[in-house]
A and B are shown apart, each in its own frame.
Chain A
Amino acid sequence: MRSWSFDVKRLTLGEMTERSLSEIAGGASLEAADPTSARVRAVAEARSAEPGPLLEILHDVQNEFGHLPESTTPVVAEVLNLSRAEVHGVISFYSDFHTAPPAEVTVAICRGEACQAVGAEALADYAKSRLGVDVGAHAKDGSVGLEQIFCFGNCALGPTASVAGRLHGRVTAERLDALIDDAQAGGSSS
């Protein structure tokens, strides 16, 4: 289950006016005070001449910031001459793109049929109880998040899990514990 969180901010009339004015001005005044927006613009402009570059730009922005900062939609829309709705539509379509910072350690469990055939569902249940979070959610302190993936292409050596970006095969509950402990201790798991 994907969970998308959107920050709905209540703006005062003054803020709204200020914001619309800055947008009318091409976002330049906003960026003067906001290095993130300026950086997003630079990343977007670096690829804007490529054909159909939106996904590539979003990947680049996310690689740099760990997530897509709030200014991504308006700034990228402007650079590519797209509507914000189009950019938002793309961001919300793909499960890789996150509008909020990721957890420090992300645990992703494969739920593909091949991994299910060797106990992936039990492993996912174990991960939920061990981490105290649901699939698609983060721990309140942001230390760890749990995700489901449909296939890492490791179908002969399941169950498969990725912990802090590293892929592991034949994962048991005990092994998952060790991998999570190791990742949270900041080590490189082996």
Chain B
Amino acid sequence: MTVTVYIPRDSSARAVGADEVAVALTAEAARRGDEIRIVRNGSRGMLWLEPFVEVEVDGTRVGYGPVQAGDVAALLDAGLLTGADHGLKHGAVDDLPWLARQDRLTYARMGVIDPLDLADYETHGGLAGLRNAVAMTPQEVVDAVSASGLRGRGGAGFPAGRKWQTVLSAPGDTKYICCNADEGDSGTYADRMLMEGDPFTLLEGMTIAGLAVGATHGYIYIRSEYPDARDILNAAIGAARTFGWLGTDVLGSGRAFDINVRMGAGAYICGEETSMLDSLEGKRGMVRAKPPLPALEGLFGKPTVVNNVLTLGSVPFVLAEGADAHASRGLDRSLGTQVFQLAGNIKQGGVVELGFGVTLRELVEDFGGGTASGRPIRAIQVGGPLGSYLTPDQLDLPMEYETFAAAGAMVGHGGIVVHDDTVDMAKLARFAMEFCSEESCGKCTPCRVGSTRGVEVIDRITAGDDRAGNLTLLLDLCDVMTDGSLCAMGGLTPMPVLSALTKFPEDFGLTAQEVTS
């Protein structure tokens, strides 16, 4: 009997040897006369166990990991194909506490299905949301998204329904759906994983958005660092066109919607929505002033929905299960779930989807298991390179937009980067400025020039050159950057810098008193 074996084709899994495992298993099984069928699924998100191999035994998937090519022969000897015991065996995957404790809505099919098998997608609940949307009026779809409380998952947390309503109400025949897949923040990879592991969910969310606002064309702007995701998306789009989903007649509705993938070219700033629009238009990715809002004058000057991958990826659930199912999760005004990403110096790095309100401690300690080095945690950066550094005494903060904002931090895209006690926070503060000078689009002087001056001033402080005078200068510079930049690049770079400075003054050769006075 043919045994089905799942080996992720997620690029993180491939980066630690998943392809080699697939090759070795194919060869070794053939040599032994074992009949196997290998499915290259998405990752379950337990990245520290990658390559994570699953074997289907009597309808149950049994997991082994991390498996290297060199382990394959011994695993087969032990009885891998019957789910037998082995040092790398973790047991029935659905029962693993790490997964069972999660509340996966957006990531419901992640790692479960064959990413490019539309039948598999439908069997696992795919297209239910779109089929519902097809039967609704555009206003009803927008109302459902508004009622769900869904907020932009890309970081800003803007209510998706309000944005869609603006585009729906905007006059004009030509409108666009633009998916921001320029996931450039270090510590975030949930967009990439969804695109690689369950691309149809994104396409379904975009199609629903198109029907809702009256757009017939969508673009996915994906960063060039994600070539695997791009290839999978293109293949998924091809399959959806053949199926009669994308194209001139979406699932027989008589309405048209199609999607194209466009690739960025190595500019972090193009993750900012207006830069992304300029880049999609084939220009330098320069930030635009707002207003006009992209919802009214976006791509090629037309009304445009710009949403992040996970925002659009959350929409099918809302339309399939109803707005209330989404709104019943989360905390206060942060409704639904967020796909949190554990990264950096973390023992059990990976993806945790849970309702907003879970504490940082539950994520970092319970799921993450603390640092990979085994040393104490010293700093945690939440929300990407522009997010504040938090200290271990802030671990009980609930992951929720407003609470974090009140604490001078941001949830952002849900990326959590852990540093142990060997970290030099002055170096990271300097890096934040260096990164800004490297990636600034150059439009606003405080960002373009201020970041370079910021590197120099931090260097002078750490070198002990007129510390007091240069500290005043740095604080002043951060003020100017915060207030004098059009977008978050220049405006938020002071967040990591100032949080490092105030929480870890000793790394700069300063005392707490000097920093706060």
Contacts and interface: CB of A to CB of B under 8 A. Distances in A.
A123 interface: no
Interface in B228-283: 262-268, 279-283
Interface string B419-434: 1100100011001000
B345 interface: yes
A114 B187 contact: yes
B262 A56 contact: yes
B20 interface: yes
A115 to B, nearest CB: 7
A156 B349 contact: yes
Given A93-B285, A169-B16, A115 B266 contact: no
Contact of A153 (B192, B372, B420): B192
B284 A154 contact: no
Interface stretch (B132-140, B204-212, B336-344): B336-344
Interface in A113-138: 113-118, 121
A157 B285 contact: no
B323 interface: no
B428 A114 contact: no
Interface stretch (A19-27, A35-43, A94-102): A94-102
B225 interface: yes
A150 interface: yes
Nearest to A58: B265
Candidate in A89, A152, A155 with the most chain B CB atoms within 10 angstroms: A155
Nearest to B278: A52
B130 to A, nearest CB: 26
Given A112-B187, A155-B415, A51 B300 contact: yes
Interface in A41-57: 51-56
B186 A95 contact: no
A150 B280 CA distance: 21
A169 B12 contact: yes
Contact of A167 (B14, B47, B188, B435): B14
Interface residues of B, number: 63
A60 to B, nearest CB: 11
A167 B15 contact: yes
A156 B343 contact: yes
B265 A170 contact: no
Nearest to A2: B438
Contacts of A168: 15-16
B186 A115 contact: yes
Contacts of B17: 190
A44 B240 CA distance: 28
A: interface residue count bin: 35 or more
B353 interface: no
A93 B438 CA distance: 11
B459 interface: no
Contact of B282 (A55, A95, A112, A149): A55
Given A53-B282, A55-B263, A150 B50 contact: no
B345 A117 contact: yes
Contact of B263 (A59, A86, A115, A154): A59
A79 interface: no
Contacts, number: 153
A52 B15 contact: no
A113 B300 contact: no
Nearest to A86: B283
A106 interface: no
B415 A169 contact: no
B126 interface: no
Interface in A140-185: 149-158, 160, 167-170
Interface string A63-88: 00000000000000000000000100
A90 interface: yes
A169 B345 CA distance: 13
B312 interface: no
A55 B285 CA distance: 11
Given A52-B282, A56-B282, A113-B344, A157 B16 contact: yes
B192 A150 contact: no
A155 B265 CA distance: 20
Contacts of B187: 112-114, 155
B265 A95 contact: yes
A155 B14 contact: no
B184 interface: yes
Candidate in A89, A97, A154, A156 with the most chain B CB atoms within 10 angstroms: A156
B359 interface: no
Given A55-B279, A113-B385, A117-B423, A160 B15 contact: yes
B11 interface: yes
Given A51-B300, A150-B385, 18 more contacts: A2-B438, A52-B282, A55-B265, A93-B267, A112-B186, A113-B381, A113-B428, A114-B417, A115-B186, A116-B344, A117-B343, A117-B417, A153-B189, A155-B349, A156-B48, A156-B341, A156-B342, A168-B16
Closest 4 CB pairs of A and B: A156-B349, A112-B186, A54-B282, A117-B344
28 contacts: A2-B438, A52-B281, A59-B263, A93-B267, A94-B265, A95-B265, A95-B266, A111-B431, A112-B187, A113-B186, A113-B187, A114-B187, A116-B344, A117-B343, A118-B373, A152-B225, A153-B189, A153-B192, A153-B225, A154-B15, A155-B343, A156-B342, A156-B343, A157-B48, A167-B14, A168-B16, A169-B12, A169-B15
